[in-house]
Amino acid sequence: MISLTINGTRTEVREGTTILQAARFLEIPIPTLCYHPWLKPFGACRICTVQVQRPRGYELVTACNTPCEEGMVIQTDTDHVRQARRVVVELMMARWPNVPIVQKLAAEVGLEKPRFISEMRDEAPDACILCLRCVRICEEVVGACAIGYEDRGIKRKVVTPFHEESEACVACGACAHVCPTGHMKFEPEDYRGKPPEFLLGPNTAIHVMTPQAVPKVPRIDRESCIHFKTNGCQKCVEVCEAKAVNHEMTDQELEIEVGQILVATGYDLFDASVMAQYGYGRLDNIYTALDIERMLNATGPTGGQIRLKNGQPPRAVGIIHCVGSRDENYHRYCSRVCCMYALKFAHLIKERCPEAEVYNFYIDMRAFGKGYEEFYSRVLHEGVNVIRGKVAEVVQAGWSKQEEGTLLIRCEDTLIGKLREIPVDMVILCNAIEPRRDAERVARLFGLSRSPDGFFLERHPKLDPVATSSDGLFVAGCAQGPKDIPDTVAQASAAAARMLATIAKGVVEMDPVRAEINEEYCSGCRVCNALCPYEAIEYLEDKNVSRVNSALCKGCGTCVAACPAGAITGYGFSDLQLHAELEGLLAVR
Amino acid sequence: MPYRVHCMVCAGTGCVSNRSLEVRDALENEIRKRGLQDEIQIVTTGCNGFCAVGPLMVVQPDGIFYQQVSAKDVPLLVEEHFIKGRPVQKLLYKPPEAAAPIPKMSDIPFFKHQRLIALRNRGLIDPEKIEDYIARDGYQALVKALTEMTPEQIIEVITKSGLRGRGGAGFPTGVKWQKVRQAKGEPKYIICNGDEGDPGAFMDRSIFESDPHSVIEGMLIGARAIGARYGVVYIRNEYPLALERIQIAIQQAREYGLLGENILDSGLDFDISVTRGAGAFVCGEETALIASVEGRLGDPRARPPYPAEYGLWGKPTCINNVETWANVPPIILHGWEWYSQIGTERSKGTKVFSLVGKVRNTGLVEVPMGITLRQLIYDIGGGIPGDKKFKAVQTGGPSGGCIPAGMMDQPIEYIAPDGKREARDYLDLPIDYESLTDVGSMMGSGGLVVMDEDTCMVDVARYFLAFTQDESCGACTPCREGTKLMLDILNRIVDGHGTMDDLRALEEIAWVVKQTSLCGLGKTAPNPVLTTLKYFRDEYLAHIEAHKCPAHVCRALNTYRIDPVICVERGHGCGVCRRECPEKAIFGEKNQPHRIDQTLCKKCGVCVEVCHFNAVIVE
Amino acid sequence: MPKLKIEDLARIREQARRATLLREGAGRVKITVHLGTCGIAAGGRNIMTAVLREIEERNLHDVLVTTSGCAGLCSREPMMTVEVLGQPPVKYVDLTEGKVKEIFAEHIVGGKIADRYALAVGSERVM
């Protein structure tokens, strides 16, 4: 430990502590500019100058990078220090008079009237003040070294090599993050290729999906994480006290033996940009329902406010139902949940933007559930305009100055029998609920059937909506078909109960009609494995024979017929039994 | 047949650019023509130092010194001196206003008052022949260091001798060696700083060109003392001849096994590589130099840690100036008592100075510390030409200060004559503002520019500041912005637009730049300004308040006036000035006194130059 | 070139001793061979050659040889002046190569002036 005195206060610090760190520990303020806690101290700006006592006088040193020595006597606020800081800031003001952080420093050091004007004066408020933080972070933390300096002295500039777009840049935005003036700008694009003034998705490589996520733990996005691009950074590892961050983690494949499976793999949303006439992804201020859900959420990017891209609240909003549903060209089915959430949106928009006009464009209003119709009435009374008719297209308006940026919804109002053009500021598309993109693969994996609309097939639409044609295999939720939350919960509980019942029984009743493989005759050719529609045949490697899982076997007889060795018997339908039946029938006179 | 005459032809850069090699070739031809090639040896040496009168030649054993020799003088020279033994009078050195020439080099005042230690071999050896160096006790100090002394003893000798860094900072060399020796890290490095960026300085260049092996031997001894494995000679790219000679020397040393492994069977492994500079003055600063050697941008970095602990490639590194290394072998060979008897109490030994400017005998001299300015300028330098009044000497180049005429009898050494430490010394650091303006005689790296009454001190400060401002790396705010603003103020002052506010601002900025800059360049850049402000404040005031330049150098402040009497009586109103004036500002008729219209005059000074009768008075 | 040993350094130094001293203008003995027109006509060049040969054969390192013009006494050429450090110069006249040999043996190496060949001891001051 080293003992030293700062401003008359004695203190002890560990070896290697800098004067700035010691002062901060004692809560003695020292102004800084180029210093940043993530970076090695550089000493470029010289603002953090302090005075150190020496045997024959004093010396001015920079606090950020001078290590404490035993017996040091430091003063941070003498006349000399104040004069030095004031002149240094004055030198900066001569060059960058309008940069907010420089002006703030000027106020801090008591500089009232800067005397000088530099030949290289830059009046921009976001001028580069040569603090060199961007270059340092790119080199020390990110490890990409994509920017550097050119020229020397007063002509020094921060540039990319040869002024060309840097190939080494990994677009992490670290430079913009530490830039004190905003000279370094980071312009990320969200997945739609649009520069988001507010991002509807996560905006850092390590993030918690939403504050209401379950489980509420951070995850690292491999695509944008700096460590995966340059092997540098790992600041998250440094700051995590629990040492919980591990970049080496990979997906693990686990093998678990189970008796029953519940498939609840959910849904995907219809990609509204396919319907080009609605302008999603092409025009501004056109959102899908999920986007708006995020925006309306109190923990979302706008804090629950409805905002256009320019930050203003909309004057009029159009909500278009049945985008991709009830459509001969895309999905013929109804997505069930959209009408109600569209009305919810209308209600909330009216609540949060009372001045806004809201238009719902629908085909049929499906308010089938408990309290749903009443809610619809309420919404109508709140002044929401409902227009029965499919929307033909959404275009940019703009004949007059007032309409600039406005969207125009062209539709047919079938109730009044007219074509209408309605100017709105924002359009919300209620896009259809679709089966998951990988539904076919999952179906094949489990031996599930699918209904014509692509969702998994239940055993009976009325009498058995949770089971499938395979025993022990259940389906619940939107994997089976679009449904809202109460219905999903009900279905899931039912499936769980069914599964528990089987477990509680302890035994599985099997159909006597089933197949069995004679292991003596089986040669392990495995033809039957692939043929079984119920995936009921497994292959035993050590014995090189196949075996029928009686619990799954439905006794369809496919394997019996297919087995080249004749090793499989269908109980109740063996050759002997069939012969006996035939003889019995033929014996009757 | 042994040679009876050695003819030493100077082949330093100065004489070479004045065609001394042609002289050598002519000599060789003539000697061969006369059949004397077995009796007379022509040797090309490094710089002799008396560059004002080159190309030079010294004929030994007679010790006759010839100056301004050209190839066409050679036949006469050979005939008269080599054959008939009569020195050629017209080529001998003759001081101005002297009756007779001084034939012998040892009698010429320029040489007589010098004491050669670092330059001990100059003019006596062919720098491209290692045998010549060995013949003059070369590498004997290394033998002594390897066989009779331990590394600790070597460091003790260097420390006791009082040798201080000759690059300008004057840090005690033995202390630095000890620090590096004690530092942890392998391998350790030795660097020879040959960047020599000061404009007009050529001490280090001369050592490389005349006696490169002295540097190599010094580095070898240092390697033994410190425990270093590798050495780097950093030489600025603008010195092609010096570069060539040091490379030849290293090559020859390697061939003789004096560099490499198990040198002289002592177990010492050491080799030297050469790195060239790339044109930045700031790379004379040690951390910027290290960055340059490592291939990085030549920006200095904050210290601590000092290179002694964390230097080249992160390892302990000892950096010393060329002249410092050249002093090491004699100290080891002759002992520390011998060395410490030369010089003053605090500054031991000798120093090489480049004596330039308004002085008759410009060139390179090595003198004991403690010599006074008067001795340097008048005894060695031959005084100010034209009998002008001596004004001041600028020492240490752009980092240096000035010594005014009033201090002419003070001994020159590392500390100021009033006893206060001023040069950057690691043991004690620069003091408070009051004594900073007290800056006195400061040695610097050895550049000495003599100035007479026709020099404007404000312009001198501006000249040096323009240099450092251009060479600033731009990393830290005070140096980058401050030097430029100071330069702007000085430009305003010499243009006649300066105000007293400007002067106050100039002093304040200078103080802040000196106190808060990151590296030595910034910390010393204001020195010319501060010292001229201290000793020649009246000149600044004249520029600002009276709008006059006392030395008439700052043209914007001059007034040009034609003396009507001289113009008519001597010049007969010739009208040349009227015709030559680019502004058509001069009026007059033939045989009539001419006059200058001050409102039109742009102060270009052409009229002064073209008037044959000196009728134009500058005020 | 082979790697040097410590002895080699001393050896090279010794070998170059003559050149070193010569360049410093230091030597124990200085011989001036007079080569003015009269001297050359009388055969002074041969005397010079003889002197140099003696130096080489005797392996002398501390003898400097220089020339001068006419000394004034043309009738007694060829002449040479031998100056031993600390002693007045001695002029030897009417030289032949044999006499040179003897003078070397007696005076330069032996230290005793060869009177019979000497003109005078001491001389007028020369520049």
Query: Min CA distance, A185 vs chain B (Å)?
Result: 22
Q: Are residues A16 and A103 in the same domain?
A: yes
Same domain assignment for residues A206 and A103: no
Q: What is the pLDDT of residue B287?
A: 93
Q: Nearest CA to B209 among B83, B125, B108, B286?
A: B125
Mean pLDDT of B516-537: 89
Domain boundary (B321, B340, B359) is at: B340
Q: Are residues A316 and A450 in the same domain?
A: no
Whether residues B505 and A42 touch (CB distance < 8 A) is answered with: no
State the pLDDT at residue C20: 78
CATH number at residue B408: 3.10.20.600
Residues B487 and B585 in one domain: no
Mean pLDDT of B378-406: 84
Domain boundary among A416, A434, A452: A434
B127 pLDDT higher than 70? yes
Q: What is the ipTM of this complex?
A: 0.82
Establish if A276 belongs to a structural domain.
yes
Q: How far apart are CA A331 and CA A339, in angstroms?
A: 16
Size of interface B-C (CB pairs under 8 A): 107
Is residue A321 within 8 Å of residue A363, measured between CB atoms?
A: yes
Are residues B317 and B293 part of one domain? Answer: yes
Of A434, A463, A497, the position where a domain reaches its end is: A434
**Domain termination residue (choose one: B292, B320, B340):** B340
Closest by alpha carbon to B557, among B531, B539, B572, B584?
A: B539
The boundaries of the domain holding residue B609 are 559-618
The token pair that represents A310 in the structure block: 């320019």
Model pTM? 0.73
A253: number of Cβ within 10 Å: 5
Determine, yes or no, domain membership for A117. Answer: no
Q: Containing H/E element for B403?
A: strand B402-404
> Does B408 have pLDDT greater than 90?
no
Inform me whether the pLDDT recorded for A195 exceeds 60.
Answer: no
Nearest Cα of chain B lies from the Cα of C16 at a distance, in angstroms, of 5
The three-class DSSP label of residue B563 is coil
Q: Residue B391 pLDDT more than 50?
A: yes
Could you identify the residue written with the tokens 């330093």? Answer: B12
Residue B354 has pLDDT above 70, yes or no: yes
The residue extents of the domains of chain C are 6-121
Identify the residue with better confidence: B336 or B303.
B336
User: Are residues B423 and B320 both part of a single domain?
Assistant: no
Quickly tell me which residue has 């590394």 as its tokens: B151
For the ranges A189-203, A455-469, A492-506, B415-429, the lowest mean pLDDT is seen at: B415-429
Residue A119, chain B, CB below 8 Å: the answer is yes
A123 part of a folded domain: no
* pLDDT digits 0-9 by tens, A403-416: 666 899 999 999 99
User: Would you call A43 an interface residue with chain B, using a CB distance cutoff of 8 Å?
Assistant: yes
Q: Pick from C12, C23, C48: which is nearest to B6 by CB?
A: C23
On the question of pLDDT at B285 being above 60, the answer is yes
Cβ atoms within 10 A of the Cβ of B49, count? 30
Q: Over 90: is that where the pLDDT of B236 sits?
A: yes
The mean per-residue pLDDT over the stretch A448-469 comes to 90
Assign A372 a pLDDT band (cuts: 50, 70, 90). very high
Q: For residue B214, what pLDDT band results from cuts at 50, 70 and 90? A: very high
Residue C66: which pLDDT band, with cuts at 50, 70 and 90? confident
Q: Indicate if the pLDDT at residue A489 is higher than 70.
A: yes
Taking residues A341-348, what's their average pLDDT?
96
Place of tokens 């700008």: A185
Whether residues A240 and A353 share a domain: the answer is no
Per-residue model confidence as pLDDT tens digits over B462-493: 999 999 999 999 999 999 999 999 999 999 99
Same domain, A279 and A417: yes
Per-residue confidence at A554, pLDDT binned at 50, 70, 90?
A: confident
B35 in contact with chain C, both atoms CB, cutoff 8 A = no
* Beta partners for residue B354, in sequence order: B364, B447
User: Are residues B402 and B532 located together in one domain of the fold?
Assistant: yes
- pLDDT for residue A329: 93
Same domain, B234 and B371: no
The DSSP secondary structure of A205-254, one letter per residue, reads: SEE-S-TT-SS---EE-TTT-HHHHHS---HHHHH-TT----TT------
Give kind and range of the element (H or E) at residue C56: helix C44-58
The per-residue DSSP string of A530-571 comes to HH-TT--EEEETTTTEEEE-TTT-----HHHHH-TT--EEET
CB B560 within 8 A of CB B596: yes
**Residue A287 backbone class (left: φ over 0; alpha: ψ -120 to 50; beta: rest):** beta
Per-residue confidence (pLDDT) for residue B417, from 0 to 100: 38
- The pLDDT score that the predictor gives to residue B418 is 41
Please check whether residue B501 touches A, CB under 8 A.
yes
Q: Is A83 within 8 Å of chain B by CB?
A: yes
Confidence of residue A491 (pLDDT cuts 50, 70, 90): very high
Nearest alpha carbon to residue A427 among A347, A271, A316, A330: A316
Tell me if chain C has a CB within 8 Å of the CB of B2. yes
pLDDT surpassing 50 at residue B12: yes
Looking at the fold, whether B608 and B581 belong to one and the same domain comes out as yes
Nearest to A115 by CA among B478, B509, B221: B509
Average pLDDT across chain A, whole number = 88
Q: Are residues B539 and B563 in the same domain?
A: no
Q: Which of B418, B512, B521 to mutate to test the interface with A (most CBs of A within 10 A)?
A: B512
For A391, the enclosing helix (H) or strand (E) is: strand A391-396
**Which helix (H) or strand (E) segment is A10 a member of?**
strand A9-13
A342 lies in the same domain as A302: yes
Contacting residues of C for B134, CB less than 8 Å apart: 9, 12-13, 16
A544 touches chain B (CB under 8 A): no
Mutate to test the interface with B, among C1, C4, C77 (most CBs of B within 10 A): C4
Q: What is the pLDDT of residue A381?
A: 95
Beta-strand pair A568-570/A515-517: antiparallel
B592, amino acid identity: Q
To the nearest whole percent, how much of chain A has pLDDT over 70? 96
Residue B104 within a domain:
yes
SS (H, E, C) C4-41: CCHHHHHHHHHHCHHHHHHHHCCCCEEEEEECCHHHHH
Average pLDDT over every residue of C75-93:
85
First to last CA, chain B: 68
Between chains, do B135 and C68 touch, taking CB under 8 Å as contact? no
Find the CATH number of the domain harbouring B79. 3.40.30.10
**B297 and B368 assigned to the same domain:** no
3-state secondary structure of B332: helix
What are the structure tokens assigned to B180, written together?
A: 């590096």
Cis omega (within 30 of 0) for bond into A215: yes
- pLDDT beyond 50 at B97: yes
Name chain C contacts of B103, Cβ cutoff 8 Å.
Answer: 127
Calpha distance B131→B125 (Å, rounded): 9
B426 pLDDT higher than 70: no
Q: What is the pLDDT of residue B375?
A: 82
Nearest chain A alpha carbon to B511? A84
User: Are B349 and B162 in contact, with CB atoms under 8 Å apart?
Assistant: yes
From A485-499, B130-144, B564-578, C23-37, the region with the lowest mean pLDDT:
C23-37
Q: Is B453 exposed, middle or buried (0-12, 13-18, 19+ CB in 10 A)?
A: middle
**Residue scoring higher pLDDT (B433 or B507):** B507
Contact call for C68 and B86, based on CB within 8 A: yes
* pLDDT at res. A188: 60
Per DSSP bridges, beta strands A148-150 and A157-159 are antiparallel
Question: Measured between beta carbons, which residues in chain B are less than 8 angstroms from residue C36?
Answer: 84
Contact B515 A80 (CB under 8 A): yes
Predicted local confidence at residue B422, as pLDDT = 41
Under 8 Å between Cβ of A49 and A121: no
Half-sphere exposure of A351 (CA within 13 A, CB side): 11
Q: Do A54 and B302 touch (CB under 8 A)?
A: no
Q: Is there a domain that residue A278 lies in? A: yes
Closest-CA residue to C80 (of C63, C103, C59, C57): C103
- According to the model, what pLDDT value does residue A240 have? 87
**Is B95 in the same domain as B147?**
no
**Distance from C-alpha of A487 to C-alpha of A481, rounded to nearest angstrom:** 11
Report how far apart, in Å, the C-alpha atoms of A224 and of each of A39, A165, A190, A197, A324 are. Answer: 21, 19, 12, 19, 32
Q: How confident is the model at residue B459 (pLDDT cuts 50, 70, 90)?
A: very high
B423 with B529, same domain: the answer is yes
- Cis status of the peptide bond prior to B300, with omega within 30 of 0: no
The answer to whether position A64 is within a domain reads yes
Amino acid found at B78: V
Chain A residues near residue B436 by CB distance under 8 angstroms: none
Domain for residue B73, yes or no? yes
Q: How many independent structural domains does chain B possess? A: 4
Q: What's the CATH code of the domain at B577?
A: 3.30.70.20
B92 touches chain C (CB under 8 A): no
Residues on chain B touching A80 (C-beta within 8 angstroms): 433, 515
Q: Note whether A49 contacts B482, CB cutoff 8 Å.
A: no
3-state secondary structure of B305: coil
Judge whether B118 lies within some domain: no
Lowest-confidence pick of A46-60, A166-180, B309-323: A166-180
Per-residue pLDDT of B17-43, as tens digits, reads: 999 999 999 999 999 998 888 888 899
End-to-end CA distance of chain C: 46
Do B616 and B594 touch, CB atoms closer than 8 A? no
Asked if the structure places residue B475 within a domain, the reply is: yes
Distance CA C37, CA C44 (A): 9
CB contact, 8 Å: B103 with chain C?
A: yes
In a domain, B424, yes or no: yes
Mean pLDDT of B240-253: 94
- Which residue of A42, A152, A159 is the best one to mutate when testing the B interface, meaning the one whose CB has the most B CBs within 10 A? A152
Shared-domain flag, residues B591 and B514: no
Partners of residue A318 on adjacent β-strands: A359, A427
Chain B residues close to C2, C-beta within 8 Å = 257
What are phi and psi for residue B6, nearest 5 degrees?
-110, 120
Distance from CA of C114 to the nearest CA of B (A): 23
Residues B126, B136: Cα–Cα separation, whole Å: 11
Residues B136-179 have pLDDT tens digits of 888 999 999 999 999 999 999 999 999 988 887 788 999 999 99
C-alpha dihedral sign at A192, A197, A199, A203: positive
Chains B and C touch (3+ CB pairs under 8 A): yes
Instruction: Give CA–CA dist A85/A81, Å, rounded.
Output: 6
Work out how many domains chain A is built from and give that number: 5
Quote the tokens at residue A243. Answer: 């040492």
Give the model confidence (pLDDT) of B562-582 as tens digits. 998 888 888 888 888 888 899
Q: Which CATH superfamily is domain C6-121 in?
A: Glutaredoxin (3.40.30.10)
How many Å lie between the alpha carbon of A153 and the closest alpha carbon of chain B? 4
Residue B123 lies in a domain: no
Residue type at B145?
A
pLDDT confidence of residue B590:
86
For strands A9-13 and A49-54, give the pairing.
unpaired
- Give the residue-averaged pLDDT of B366-391: 84
Q: Which of A549, A469, A456 is nearest to A257 (CA)?
A: A549
Find, in chain A, the residue whose alpha carbon is nearest to that of B477.
A45
Within-domain flag for A196: yes
When mean pLDDT is compared across A67-71, A553-557, B187-191, the lowest value belongs to A553-557
Assess if residue B345 is contained within a domain: no
- For residue A49, the chain B residue with the least C-alpha distance is B516
Report how far residue B226's alpha carbon sits from residue B54's, in angstroms, rounded to the nearest whole number. Answer: 41
Reported as a pLDDT band with limits 50, 70 and 90, residue B435 is very low
Share of chain B above pLDDT 90, in %: 47
Last residue of a domain, one of B340, B369, B389: B340
Q: Which chains have 3+ CB pairs within 8 A of B?
A: A, C
Cβ of B61 and C23 within 8 Å? yes
Nearest to B61 among C5, C16, C66 (CB): C66
Q: Please give the pLDDT value at position A426.
A: 94
Q: What is the pLDDT of residue A294?
A: 86
- Quote the pLDDT of residue A298: 85
Residues from chain B that touch C5, judged by Cβ atoms under 8 A, are: 264-265
Q: Which domain holds residue A282?
A: 269-434
pLDDT at A18: 92
| Nearest-CB residue to B472 (from A58, A84, A152) | A152
Angstroms from C8 CA to nearest CA on chain B: 10
Q: Which residues of B touch C13 (CB under 8 A)?
A: 134-135, 137-138, 140
B210 and B241 inside one domain: yes
Task: Determine contact: B60 vs chain C, CB below 8 A.
Answer: yes
The predicted structure's pLDDT at residue B413: 63
The mean pLDDT of A108-120, rounded to a whole number, is 88
pLDDT digits (tens, 9 = 90+) for A234-289: 888 888 888 888 888 888 999 999 889 999 999 999 999 999 999 998 888 999 99
CATH number at residue A64: 3.10.20.740
